[in-house]
Amino acid sequence: MSLNVGVVGASGYAGGELVRLLSTHPKVSISMVTSRRNAGKPVSNEIPILKGRLNIKFEEPDPPKIIEKCDFVFMATPHAVSMELTPQILEVGIKVVDLSGDFRLKNPEIFKRYYGVDHKAPDLLDEAVYGLPEINREKIKNARLVACPGCFATPSIIALFPLVKEKLIREHVFIDAKTGSSGAGRTPSPADHHPERTNMVRPYSPGEHRHVPEIEQALAPHGKVKVTFVPHAVDMVRGILSTIYSITMENVDEQSVWKAFRSCYSGERFIRFIHWKSGGLYRFPNPKITLGTNYCDLGFKLLKDQKTLIIFSSIDNLIKGAAGQAIQNMNIMLGYEEDAGLDFPGIYPV
Amino acid sequence: MSLNVGVVGASGYAGGELVRLLSTHPKVSISMVTSRRNAGKPVSNEIPILKGRLNIKFEEPDPPKIIEKCDFVFMATPHAVSMELTPQILEVGIKVVDLSGDFRLKNPEIFKRYYGVDHKAPDLLDEAVYGLPEINREKIKNARLVACPGCFATPSIIALFPLVKEKLIREHVFIDAKTGSSGAGRTPSPADHHPERTNMVRPYSPGEHRHVPEIEQALAPHGKVKVTFVPHAVDMVRGILSTIYSITMENVDEQSVWKAFRSCYSGERFIRFIHWKSGGLYRFPNPKITLGTNYCDLGFKLLKDQKTLIIFSSIDNLIKGAAGQAIQNMNIMLGYEEDAGLDFPGIYPV
Amino acid sequence: MSLNVGVVGASGYAGGELVRLLSTHPKVSISMVTSRRNAGKPVSNEIPILKGRLNIKFEEPDPPKIIEKCDFVFMATPHAVSMELTPQILEVGIKVVDLSGDFRLKNPEIFKRYYGVDHKAPDLLDEAVYGLPEINREKIKNARLVACPGCFATPSIIALFPLVKEKLIREHVFIDAKTGSSGAGRTPSPADHHPERTNMVRPYSPGEHRHVPEIEQALAPHGKVKVTFVPHAVDMVRGILSTIYSITMENVDEQSVWKAFRSCYSGERFIRFIHWKSGGLYRFPNPKITLGTNYCDLGFKLLKDQKTLIIFSSIDNLIKGAAGQAIQNMNIMLGYEEDAGLDFPGIYPV
Amino acid sequence: MSLNVGVVGASGYAGGELVRLLSTHPKVSISMVTSRRNAGKPVSNEIPILKGRLNIKFEEPDPPKIIEKCDFVFMATPHAVSMELTPQILEVGIKVVDLSGDFRLKNPEIFKRYYGVDHKAPDLLDEAVYGLPEINREKIKNARLVACPGCFATPSIIALFPLVKEKLIREHVFIDAKTGSSGAGRTPSPADHHPERTNMVRPYSPGEHRHVPEIEQALAPHGKVKVTFVPHAVDMVRGILSTIYSITMENVDEQSVWKAFRSCYSGERFIRFIHWKSGGLYRFPNPKITLGTNYCDLGFKLLKDQKTLIIFSSIDNLIKGAAGQAIQNMNIMLGYEEDAGLDFPGIYPV
């Protein structure tokens, strides 16, 4: 018998991806999808690829109904909404994976600085587990509430964790990220209006992005890190490439870097190493190759005479950066195969 | 001494193009640009390429002020706004080129059917000259009020006029148009949100577009035409390609077609013939080649055994399909060189 | 025990898709992939998404070896190669699905006119079954050799078959197709060089494309059809939209059209009807929605006063237009579930 | 009387831009354009926007003929060709602007390391002036031979020069560049094949690009600089954005940065400062805004608590990064207005 799973906030792009991926998941059934704005309308209106595949309707995100219909809940709501609903759902014993930013940061003051509002459920912040399985798998297994990392945080932390842990690099790192437009969400805006978002590269919020404190918080237990982060909007719908510039400690060579990566990730289902010696055009990570998948591809280049290590880390922002990672967390929390429903190989060329 | 020209509604894309093109026009000065929403702000906020080039501010579209500051006015307002302002401006003897749909259709009932509102200045409809210089140049010379054709109407009429006039084709034609996103204007919308408008081809309003009655009205004096028109949004910012399918009369050959085109357009500054025998990749019109220019490129293929003539017609929707044609009309109305300010050759590759 | 399947010509895009799709097919194993140019190299060099997923190497397309290692063979070679290899493979009792153009046309003279070479195995032309399951399923079941339709032929035939069969439209139809760049294959060329293939719409081979005789041949048994076909390259990697203009017989209304579509396709797994009354942005077929899937989406608009029926038909050119349809044919030939390995729902937004 | 100018190597993209820009230059005439491959063919075959505007043909790059027909020559040949032809042209007293990499580097051994061939005219290396007018204007005035900077070198040097000169930043800087496909030239290649170059971000040659020694050489006289440079191919045809990460000296504040920029560039015709406080979407440099122009747009963000200065620098790679800068150099060498033929404001949106 399959588990009843609900998606709250399913009309956004991350919510839509949850519905799509869950619709082919071997262990669960979608028992409820909510959207305040689209309540009563067929899900396929908003997630058009599901035409002829999933004949359900959006419902209101009404907590009593959620509690009645669901055994497990994904929150894909805008920031500051989840912290209102999640406590009510947890209370009745339903586990929650939250894709918003509400439960990622441990410190409510830092939360307020970056999100502009007071936290409504600060007592849950300590309990919430930061849902990056490659680092926190054991804690996720027993969590009631998992906070899925931000899309930029995911590839950055995965790239830096082994290097920080093994003390291969100095404190200050520079992350230059390039991102597709789906990361900005479904609501039309001047910044993502097609005539403005095409044929361009647009840096934004340099040094001030919300995902920076996440990255620093996640790495802090393993070593000190100071992050300079600049996201750039590029003409692409899906995907993030993080190019990370760091200064190495003395005597770091290629072997040390591979060793650090392998010691942390060698059994990982969703981490791939891309070697610059591999043939063809794709000798470094590229979001084209991770598109549609739950992979995080890692590669690097060491400039030994400059003591400079450049790490490349690529994901699909809506999958490993959102819905896929959320399902990976669910799989761990419920004891399923970690890649259940997440085995798609990608699509090439796309 | 240069003429004082005003642009009313300059924060839209067509208005912005007017400001850009007029800023390098040898005969005129921009004396006023208006935008209700942006009044008081620098023009370069909304037309960012003008940073460091044009230091003026948007003003309110206040008729007394327009009358005081301008000798000639372009209306680049949304539909149904121009018909309120234009009569007041004409009244004091200022000539107007209107880029909206308000004065294109002669019949106020057809106007109401396609634009959904009653016409507020129906008495001007007869006087307004349809501003397609290649067909109406003489009337434009003496006009007080010129209505610039719609972006889809321009390449379609230019392509069909010689064939209808010379009676080379049968009545019913099929126009399959492909258009860039700038044609939909500056206001963000779901349809032009980057994630939706990329990697796609989207037909819309098949058989029901507002530009159809314009095309039929413009061609009616020269022969009977019935138009089936389907626009398709493609992943491109600027440009329109119209592919037109028609059935020829008996004995129409390539010579007849070239002769018809040449007899109508041989001295035209902004019509180019693209011959399929020309070398390279661009043997048929392509909006990539007209981008940034006031050209309409024409080409065709005759399938003699099918009695089928396929005509290709390409423009930059914001230039020959809007601001460039508007300035071409002004140049004619004021006795300037017809290509004053419009001589840019385009840019390749882009 | 799973069946051993070989892909000959696997370094092209269609071949790569075959390998990708077969790698997750529940009933078969990939026993051999060939590429003359890449023999000895890892498959993931050329199909980079398979890094870490499929550790096999390209081999030479050596017939004795193919025969030894494979129980079933896909030919994804360039045109004029398959007709050399296929007879040798068939001879030993191995069934073949051919994705090239070699066995699609029944008449060797028409083949020569469109492909420029003499046919080397004309005796197989009669036996080869045209692999469009929605029309030829019964013949495919018992075929030794199936010729997969051309990418443009597939959506065009699927759209026209019910209308021709039910005699709803007149003989002459106009097909305006828009296609992504992957359809041109993997070999770099000026026409598909990124700076030339971006920000553009390029018509090519108007009225002269190789897929026209396929369309006419496939429809001929059901009614007379004369096709005017113009493909247009647009800035998209995957997908085809065919917009088809036709003139209806007397008294054709929307019900007649739906009825014709339903009577032909109501149980079809891979045909979807897109109704213009459906909500959201996707009220007509759009290659964005079929991307990554084996669907052919159908929709239409009837302009009753013009007796004009416009049909929209959309596919992923590499899947329903090539590798997916090939596997669908294999599934039928081998008695598997028709959608085995082909159930991917697509990806949105992409 | 206008000066006779020749373009050698005019069938590449940079050569094509030279021809386009020179065709509207007020002081010069194009007396010869060469292309070995296209000799005898109309220029508009390869530069299709010139159809109907420039009716000349490509000629062979034959030195005696060049000398006979030209008073001034641009070399837009591939690397290692110019060093063969240029000495012969200089010898007869004709001034040359070279757009290739042949005369940029002063040290023939570094040249050999980066270009893989011995230099054929090492005695000219000292004399050749590095053609970045904003830094070397006085030397350019009297030069016989000017070597135009590489496309990546231009925005990087312009951004760093004031900071290095005023000693505001530490030695080691990280340059993360994003580039359009036209920078890779006109010859089709797998890397720039449309299906591979779309929907992606591809880092290449990290730390090893040919433009690095140029940047270091140009800045060396003003202060010590160590450059880590990583170019990234993005889905864009024209333009480069360089994002530069640097560590400031003590007590550097925003005023110091603006002061450094202004003291170096305040009278410069082609440098614009983009202030993050400016309104609208374009608060940092963006290649969309410099497209089609000879501008280099500069902006920055200082993170004072991290002592980190991020500089953004944007150009059109084919104009300020190639043909436009070449013409700017010619204008200086010949005493023309520096912006003659280079005044185009750009095009928005594009």
> What pLDDT does residue B96 have?
98
Q: Do D194 and C190 touch (CB under 8 A)?
A: no
Mutate: best of C186, C235, C294, C348, partner A, most A CBs <10 A = C348
* Pairing of the two strands D72-75 and C296-303: unpaired
**Minimum-distance CB partner of C199 among D190, D193, D237:** D237
Q: Do A51 and C274 touch (CB under 8 A)?
A: yes
Residue A321: other Cβ atoms inside 10 A? 29
Could you read off the pLDDT of A280-336 as tens digits, one per residue? Answer: 899 999 999 999 999 999 999 999 999 999 999 999 999 999 999 999 999 999 999
Assembly ipTM: 0.97
Determine the Cα–Cα distance for residues D99 and D80; give it in Å rounded to an integer: 11
> What pLDDT does residue C135 have?
97
**Minimum-distance CB partner of D202 among A230, A286, A306:** A286
Q: Which two tokens stand for residue A90?
A: 């947890």
C143: region left, alpha or beta (phi > 0 left; psi from -120 to 50 alpha): beta
**B89 close to B95: Cβ distance less than 8 angstroms:** no
Map B63-105 to HEC letters. HHHHHHHCCEEEECCCCCCHHHHHHHHHHCCCEEEECCCCCCC
> What pLDDT does residue D279 have?
78
For the segment D125-135, the average pLDDT, to the nearest whole number, is 98
Q: Do A348 and C280 touch (CB under 8 A)?
A: no
Residue A311 burial class via C-beta count within 10 angstroms: exposed 0-12, middle 13-18, buried 19 and up: buried
**Minimum-distance CB partner of B192 among A186, A194, A235:** A194
- Looking at B70, B148, B151, B264, which residue is catalytic? B151
CA atoms within a 13 Å half-sphere pointing along the CA-CB vector of C127: 15
Strand, coil or helix: A226: strand
CA nearest to B184 within chain A: A195
Q: Do B189 and A188 touch (CB under 8 A)?
A: yes
Is residue D1's pLDDT more than 90?
no
**B327 close to B342: Cβ distance less than 8 angstroms:** yes
How many CB pairs below 8 A link A and D?
Answer: 150
Q: Which two tokens stand for residue A146?
A: 């998992």
For CA atoms A40, A46, A48, A49, the dihedral sign is: negative
Mutate: best of B175, B176, B198, B200, partner C, most C CBs <10 A = B200
Average pLDDT of adjacent 10-residue blocks, chain A of 350 residues: 93 98 97 97 95 95 96 96 97 98 97 97 97 98 98 98 98 98 97 98 96 96 97 98 98 97 97 90 97 98 98 98 98 98 97
Q: Which two tokens stand for residue A204?
A: 């934004």
Q: Which residue numbers of A are catalytic? A: 151
> What pLDDT does residue A170 have?
98
For CA atoms A342, A343, A344, A346, the dihedral sign is: positive
Q: Do C201 and B195 touch (CB under 8 A)?
A: no
pLDDT of chain B along its 350 residues, tens only? 689 999 999 999 999 999 999 999 999 999 999 999 999 999 999 999 999 999 999 999 999 999 999 999 999 999 999 999 999 999 999 999 999 999 999 999 999 999 999 999 999 999 999 999 999 999 999 999 999 999 999 999 999 999 999 999 999 999 999 999 999 999 999 999 999 999 999 999 999 999 999 999 999 999 999 999 999 999 999 999 999 999 999 999 999 999 999 999 999 999 999 998 887 899 999 999 999 999 999 999 999 999 999 999 999 999 999 999 999 999 999 999 999 999 999 999 99
* Annotation says D151 is catalytic: yes
Backbone angles phi, psi at D280, to 5 degrees: 75, -165
Q: Is D31 on the interface with C (CB under 8 A)?
A: no
Mutate: best of D187, D193, D291, D318, partner C, most C CBs <10 A = D193
List all residues of chain A from 186 to 205 with a beta carbon under 8 Å from chain C: 199
Q: Is A209 on the interface with D (CB under 8 A)?
A: no
> What pLDDT does residue B257 have?
98
Mutate: best of A113, A194, A199, partner D, most D CBs <10 A = A199
Chain B neighbors of A193, CB-CB under 8 A: 181, 186, 188, 192-194
> What pLDDT does residue D3 have?
95
How many CB pairs below 8 A link C and D?
Answer: 52
Q: Is B48 on the interface with C (CB under 8 A)?
A: no
Residue C195: cis peptide before it, omega within 30 degrees of 0: no
Could you read off the pLDDT of D18-65 as tens digits, one per residue? Answer: 999 999 999 999 999 999 999 999 999 999 999 999 999 999 999 999
How many residues can be counted in chain D?
Answer: 350
Ranges of chain C with pLDDT below 70: 1
Is residue D280's pLDDT more than 90?
no
Chains touching B (3+ CB pairs < 8 Å) = A, C, D
User: At D277, is the pLDDT very low, low, confident or very high (cuts 50, 70, 90)?
Assistant: confident
Could you read off the pLDDT of C61-79 as tens digits, one per residue? Answer: 999 999 999 999 999 999 9
Chain A neighbors of B349, CB-CB under 8 A: none
Chains touching A (3+ CB pairs < 8 Å) = B, C, D
Domains, in order of start, for chain B? 3-148+320-334 (3.40.50.720), 153-315 (3.30.360.10)
Q: Is D37 on the interface with C (CB under 8 A)?
A: no
Distance between B166 CA and the closest CA of chain C, angstroms: 23
